[in-house]
Structure 1
Amino acid sequence: MSEPRPRRAAVTGIGVVAPNGSSTETFWKSTREGISVLDRVTREGCERLPLRVAGQVRDFDPSAAIEERFLVQTDRFTHFAMAAADLALDDARLPRAVTDEVPFSVGVVTAAGSGGGEFGQRELQQLWGKGSRFVGPYQSIAWFYAASTGQISIRRGFKGPCSVVAADEAGGLDALAHAARAVRRGTDVIVAGATEAPIAPYSVVCQLGYEELSTVDDPTRAYRPFTSAACGFVPAEGGAMVVVEASQVTAVSATKTATPLSAEMTVGARSPCRYVATASPANSATITRSPAAPRGYTPPAVSTARMPSSWSARYGMVARIPVSATTSARGGDPYRPRTKSATVT
């Protein structure tokens, strides 16, 4: 009797809420066309702060996407996560009618670096301005970086494995790796991804301690990674969620006809993930040999190193940056000036 084939993880749905698009189609179109969305910070309370340029999600109305009872319990970063999860589930053709039949087969894993700064600031202002009786009960959970995982699972009725990743810049990739591993171990569906909302005044003040934060006030020059004009990173809000499923027929997939967007997932990351892989097979192997990689997987040779797509969502950067894999992509910090810059188009 032959052994059963090992389970594979496939991406079947994508949802994006980002400065350059609140849908997957808009985001991808903006990315392909190199449309920059970095602009002056207009968030109330940030007028006198040193941060002048950021990526803001301007066309997102949370009340149009999320029920009121969840809005009052959650911060903006969780609003992004719930909306992006809805988009990803729709893309994967997984409506409530399907997932409600198998709630224990669907799990959630998210990542966040800062949590709910806007919600937390509002409640702290209530505490110090009016007193403890004016602090809402949801302060205890809304600021927490794990809030998005909990609220997505509660709102959609998912009762499968749920978790949260805290890995700074590598969090989004690690969430995908965690999802792929969960699917290979037996879970049919995992909703995974990462979102941030770091442009509330409190959140911005917390970031001022980073030496690499760009305080340049010209949107066209504030973020120039891998060049001699590099002057730091620019924060942005938004993020993305994906649906990761077993590529084999399962109790969930048998009820729908979605075509996987990716035949197989293999995720590897190094933290901080500001370094780009070189073309050498040795370095490629170093990056892709992670605990999430399937046993026996051999990483392919890398011919061209490109900016990870997660940077576009987190930093609002959509410029195309072809990097020479033999000269400019040997690691190093993209936020600091280089004597031999990569080509920016």
Structure 2
Amino acid sequence: MTSAVVTGIGVAAPNGLGLGPFWEATLRGESGIGPVRRFDASRYPATLVGEIDDFVPEEHVPGRLIPQTDRMTRLALAASEWALADAEVTPGTYDTTEMGVATSAASGGFEYGQRELTALWSSGPEHVSVYMSFAWFYAVNSGQISIRHGMRGPSGVFVGDQAGGIDALAQARRNIRKGTPLVLSGGMESSLSPYGWVARIKGGHMSARHDPADAYRPFTAGADGYVPGEGGAILVVEDAARARDRGARVYGEIAGYATTFDAAPRHGGTPGLRRAVEGALEDAETDPSDIGVVFADGAGDEAADRIEAEAVAAVFGPGGVPVTVPKTLTGRMSSGAAPVDTACALLALRDEVIPPTAGIGSVAPEYDLDLVTGAPRPWRPGAALVLARGAGGFNAALVLRRAV
């Protein structure tokens, strides 16, 4: 069966803009979490965020696109440029019909939408931009990326909160297997406006703590919830044979995937994360003993953390596999989080080192996890498992391994 491999990565994260700066900051344990600066959040119960403060759109996006795009789309366009450059894909490498796009989204263009709704309310409909018709939409990143790079192959968008980032990468692999040689895939989020902020607060799982070092601490006693973040990653996914023929550098293979959905609590049933893990391992034809690290979802919520820890322990045994949550340095980036974790996993395979979970003193003993904390941990790479869960019951699991 056709293999799908990752040949290029573009990252925009609160602790690093670009793949190199992000990875170096992650290994150093350098956090991008701090007080909200984009707007006055002092009136809200949650005031911390992972915010990208060194992105100047005009340096990365053509001027004509600035009025048409929300911040999330500008970040996605920049990351797609970086990913293609990293993969050494240039115009002419593939025909335009041989390239597609599959991204994920959770919030859409909240900042753009709030600005235009304010204009409508305060000044009237004639003051609303015509670009509002698409700039807020979930699928806009896929559309703008495909237009920007002339990608006329299969394109789409997945909406599954955190899990959507894995679903998009799985769709990229699916399209590779159907005959599309290259798919740009991943997710990017930026909903840092009052409109987006109150929507997150309404979910009831954001940390209300005001100390960046103490706010987002998954798998610890007294975990208080999560800190949101903006950013994400765009990856170049290619047919392995085509990538090999053009001499591309390969980070790793997307080897296995599975997704499940939890019923609402009122309907009963058991959480489906374990089944997603087992399904991804089966899809990859990989034994649990072959997994050398798990990049956990790390919700930072006691009940959700317990479900994830129980799923990991059930499959791998108590403390049976190293686990890490590098997003403690960035905050949870909704649909952008799993693509960033995927980038971390691929770099961990390349550099033979597991990035740590920062800011965690000790794991609550009831979780039975071997959580990598403090400093990066050397490892002999086997395969890596990336987990993600989205609000509403979405679960997704992705197996990555070195390409043969």
- Pairwise same-fold verdict (TM > 0.5): yes
Q: Return the structure number with greater relative CO, CA threshold 8 A, min gap 6.
A: 1
1:245, CA displacement in angstroms? 0.3
Higher fraction of helix: 2
Instruction: Return the TM-score normalized by structure 1.
Output: 0.82
- Residue 3 of structure 1 is matched in structure 2 by none
Give 1:8-27 correspondences, 5 Å limit. 8-27=3-22
- Residue 64 of structure 2 is matched in structure 1 by 69
The C-alpha deviation readout for 1:83-130, integer Å capped at 9, x for no partner, is 11111111111022424xx00000000001111000000000000000
Instruction: Return the TM-score normalized by structure 2.
Output: 0.71
195, 202, 208: which one aligns with 1:209: 202
1:173, CA displacement in angstroms? 0.9
**Aligned CA distance change for structure 1 residues 270 and 220 (closer, same or farther; 3 Å):** farther
**Aligned CA distance change for structure 1 residues 329 and 69 (closer, same or farther; 3 Å):** farther
SS of the aligned residue for 2:65 comes to helix
- Residue 119 of structure 1 is matched in structure 2 by 112
- Residue 348 of structure 2 is matched in structure 1 by none
129, 134, 147: which one aligns with 1:141: 134
Matched, 1:306 2:323: yes
Q: Which has the higher mean CA deviation after the structures are superposed, 300-309 or 76-85?
A: 300-309
Structure 2 Cα separation of the partners of residues 96 and 47 of structure 1: 47
1:42, CA displacement in angstroms? 1.1
SS of the aligned residue for 1:202 comes to helix
- Residue 161 of structure 2 is matched in structure 1 by 168
Matched, 1:320 2:357: yes
- Residue 336 of structure 1 is matched in structure 2 by none
Root mean square deviation, CA, Å:
2.9
Aligned length: 313
Structure 2 Cα separation of the partners of residues 265 and 150 of structure 1: 27
SS of the aligned residue for 1:87 comes to helix
Gapped regions of structure 2 (runs ≥ 5): 263-272, 292-319, 338-354, 375-404
Give 1:1-345 correspondences, 5 Å limit. 6-99=1-94, 102-249=95-242, 254=245, 256-269=246-259, 286-290=276-280, 293=283, 297-301=285-289, 302=291, 303-307=320-324, 315=332, 320=357, 328=367, 344-345=373-374
Structure 1 Cα separation of the partners of residues 61 and 77 of structure 2: 8
**Aligned CA distance change for structure 1 residues 211 and 125 (closer, same or farther; 3 Å):** same
The C-alpha deviation readout for 1:186-221, integer Å capped at 9, x for no partner, is 110000001110211110011111221112111111
Runs of at least 4 residues off by over 4 Å:
269-272, 283-286, 308-314, 316-319, 321-324, 341-344
- Residue 304 of structure 2 is matched in structure 1 by none
SS of the aligned residue for 1:109 comes to strand
**Aligned CA distance change for structure 1 residues 129 and 18 (closer, same or farther; 3 Å):** same
1:32 counterpart letter in structure 2: L
1:320 counterpart letter in structure 2: T
8 Å contact 2:2–2:177 — kept in the other structure?
A: yes
8 Å contact 1:196–1:314 — kept in the other structure?
A: no
Structure 2 Cα separation of the partners of residues 66 and 53 of structure 1: 28
1:262 counterpart letter in structure 2: G
8 Å contact 2:158–2:167 — kept in the other structure?
A: yes
Gapped regions of structure 1 (runs ≥ 5): 1-5, 273-282, 331-340
8 Å contact 2:260–2:276 — kept in the other structure?
A: no
1:47, CA displacement in angstroms? 3.8
Structure 2 Cα separation of the partners of residues 234 and 8 of structure 1: 36
8 Å contact 1:11–1:265 — kept in the other structure?
A: no
SS of the aligned residue for 2:323 comes to coil
8 Å contact 1:222–1:231 — kept in the other structure?
A: yes
8 Å contact 2:258–2:277 — kept in the other structure?
A: yes
Structure 2 Cα separation of the partners of residues 18 and 241 of structure 1: 12
